[in-house]
């Protein structure tokens, strides 16, 4: 194919002489150097011409491209207007993008000194053959610094990074017809997210009750100066919007960035862009010794019809799927054949599921009850459950995940303390978000907890001291009736 340059691994397995390459740039930037590291000449690999924007490491890439593949510009701007997301809505034939971070002095449209645009491109050409794009006014007051996005229930679900303590990082659902936004989640048990970067939906074609929203939360906001110090590790989460249930599904990342599922939803891909530290003053802001990696996980989905509060999905069997040789893999997408596309420093890298390495590239030159006689808020409660709940309501406080999925207004919480210490930040002083009565020492997220504590649960002090004499151990010796 005329537009494809064949570049098999055998062509660069051995480089003669001393050489150097900046890991932020492509293999074409490799140069020959002397023993002191000084440049001798341009190196062994000439840059591809503009007529061959597609680079094939294996011939199978031609099957993806088809005959006569070309690149076409559908929208352009003088700034980074099309940085993340890339969410296509079939009903409107539009693609939604977020821009990179921009600066502004326009306080009417954007209330903070740094912001990101929310743009859409119409894929139906106008009369003159061009594709029009426009900027959408922020869909809600929470919609500050949007980043990655996906489709959820026919609408655009965006990962929003937020700004300082003023606006928490959140998941915001945007109606493509009205351009109105609704916040679905903005905290993890009262702890603010760092700066949510990307989002994907598990089983988006199934019933809404069976769909889980996965997202990644790196600390880029803090290191780039628009968010406070992180109160959570860099992790991947699973969130169930109908119930409000949220759980951590993967950790151990430096900068989790992109997330996506395979076509059969049996594999989850997460990119780690630790290659870029984004730390102010870092002597090595782009460090080739840090990850520029796509990891693959096996997805263990809950049984159909199961209670999401008891059977959330999990990710297992973490492994390296692909390491990017040029910079880092930012956003990732997956096609119907299982090929993984990653936005990298020198273009789009394509990795086939069976190769597990870059095989080609596109080179770019529930509320808390306070009643004195409450009814525990438990979904689908049976008669037996209701009877048990009525017996133990004096000591159990129900707290459904929905009751804390979204906290209105600026808030903060010490991560060393419980969700009950979450407070709103305001001109009238810090006010608690959640109330907890000391007469209810048991907190139930699910009705099944009633079976654990029994109908007459209570806490009783059996021994006490003025110093922490009873810190660990708790071994009961039956023969001597002692606890050690």
CA distance 431 to 412: 10
Q: Could you tell me which residues are beta bridge partners of residue 276?
A: 286
pTM of the entire predicted model: 0.83
| Pair 351, 294: CB distance under 8 Å | yes
Tell the CATH topology of 72-334. Answer: Neuraminidase (2.120.10)
Domain ranges in the chain?
4-41, 72-334, 383-399+434-483
Structure tokens, 169: 């990082």
- How much is the pLDDT for 392? 36
Strands 54-56 vs 4-6: parallel, antiparallel or unpaired: parallel
- How much is the pLDDT for 383? 38
pLDDT digits (tens), the chain, 484 positions: 678 888 888 889 999 989 999 998 989 899 999 988 899 888 898 888 888 889 888 888 888 888 888 888 899 999 999 999 999 999 889 999 999 998 865 556 667 888 899 999 999 888 888 899 999 988 998 999 999 999 999 999 999 999 999 999 999 999 999 999 999 999 999 999 999 999 999 999 888 999 999 999 999 999 999 999 999 999 999 999 999 999 999 999 999 999 999 999 999 999 999 998 777 777 888 888 889 999 999 999 988 888 888 889 999 999 999 999 888 999 999 999 999 999 998 889 999 876 555 555 666 653 333 333 333 333 333 333 333 333 334 456 666 666 778 888 788 888 877 787 888 877 666 778 777 665 677 777 776 777 787 777 777 788 888 877 777 766 666 565 555 5
Number of residues that this document lists for the chain:
484
DSSP 48: P
- How much is the pLDDT for 259? 98
- Based on its alpha-carbon atoms, the radius of gyration of the chain, rounded to whole angstroms, reads 26
Closest CA to 455 of 394, 381, 378: 394
- How much is the pLDDT for 313? 95
Closest CA to 445 of 407, 401, 380, 406: 401
Structure tokens, 109: 């449209």
Q: Is the dihedral of CA 69, 2, 82, 199 positive or negative?
A: positive
- How much is the pLDDT for 390? 35
- How much is the pLDDT for 381? 35
Q: Is the dihedral of CA 437, 440, 443, 444 positive or negative?
A: negative
| Pair 5, 48: CB distance under 8 Å | yes
CB-side neighbour CA atoms (13 Å) of 16: 3
| Pair 412, 165: CB distance under 8 Å | yes
CA distance 16 to 442: 70
Strands 442-444 vs 396-398: parallel, antiparallel or unpaired: parallel
- How much is the pLDDT for 249? 98
DSSP 301: P
| Pair 360, 61: CB distance under 8 Å | yes
Residue with tokens 């609408």: 155
- How much is the pLDDT for 170? 97
Residue with tokens 């900046």: 22
Structure tokens, 405: 């999925």
Residue with tokens 């004499």: 469
């Amino acid at each position: 194919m005329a537009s494809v340059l064949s570049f098999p691994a055998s062509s660069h397995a051995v480089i003669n002489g001393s050489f150097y390459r900046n890991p932020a740039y492509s293999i074409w930037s490799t140069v020959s150097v002397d023993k002191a590291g000084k440049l001798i000449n341009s190196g062994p690999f000439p840059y591809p011409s503009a007529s061959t924007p597609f680079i094939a490491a294996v011939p199978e890439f031609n099957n993806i491209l088809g005959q006569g593949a070309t690149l076409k510009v559908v929208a352009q701007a003088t700034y980074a207007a099309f940085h993340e997301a890339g969410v296509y809505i079939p009903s409107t034939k539009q693609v939604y993008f977020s821009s990179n971070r921009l600066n502004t002095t326009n306080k009417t449209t954007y209330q903070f000194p740094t912001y990101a645009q929310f743009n859409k491109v119409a894929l139906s050409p106008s009369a003159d053959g061009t594709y029009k794009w426009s900027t959408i006014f922020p869909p809600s007051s929470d919609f500050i610094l949007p980043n990655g996005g996906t489709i959820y229930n026919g609408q655009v679900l965006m990962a929003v990074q937020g700004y300082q303590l003023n606006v928490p990082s959140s998941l915001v659902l945007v109606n493509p017809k009205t351009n109105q936004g609704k916040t679905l989640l903005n905290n993890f048990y009262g702890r603010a997210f760092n700066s949510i970067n990307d989002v994907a939906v598990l089983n988006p074609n199934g019933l809404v009750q069976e769909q889980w929203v996965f997202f990644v939360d790196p600390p880029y906001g803090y290191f780039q100066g628009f968010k406070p110090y992180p109160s959570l590790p860099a992790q991947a989460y699973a969130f169930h919007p109908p119930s409000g249930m949220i759980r951590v599904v993967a950790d151990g990342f430096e900068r989790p960035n992109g997330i996506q599922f395979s076509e059969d939803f049996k594999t989850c891909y997460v990119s780690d862009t630790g290659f870029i530290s984004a730390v102010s003053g870092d002597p090595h802001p782009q460090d080739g010794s840090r990850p520029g990696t796509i990891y693959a996980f096996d997805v263990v989905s809950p049984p159909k019809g199961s209670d999401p509060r008891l059977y959330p999905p999990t990710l297992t069997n973490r492994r390296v799927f692909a390491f990017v040789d040029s910079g880092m893999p930012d956003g990732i997408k997956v096609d119907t054949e299982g090929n993984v596309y990653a936005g990298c420093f020198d273009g789009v890298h394509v990795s086939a599921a069976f190769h597990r390495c870059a095989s080609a590239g596109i080179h770019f030159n529930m509320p808390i009850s306070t009643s004195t006689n409450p009814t525990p808020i438990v979904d689908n409660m049976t008669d037996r459950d209701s009877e048990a709940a009525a017996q133990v309501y004096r000591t159990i406080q129900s707290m459904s995940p929905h009751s804390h999925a979204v906290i209105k207004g600026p808030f903060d919480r010490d991560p060393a303390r419980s969700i009950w210490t979450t407070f709103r930040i305001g001109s009238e002083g810090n006010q608690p978000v959640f109330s907890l009565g000391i007469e209810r020492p048991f907190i139930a997220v699910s009705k099944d907890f009633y079976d654990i504590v029994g109908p007459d649960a209570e806490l009783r002090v059996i021994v006490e001291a003025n110093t922490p004499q009873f810190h660990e151990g708790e071994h009961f010796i039956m023969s001597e009736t002692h606890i050690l």
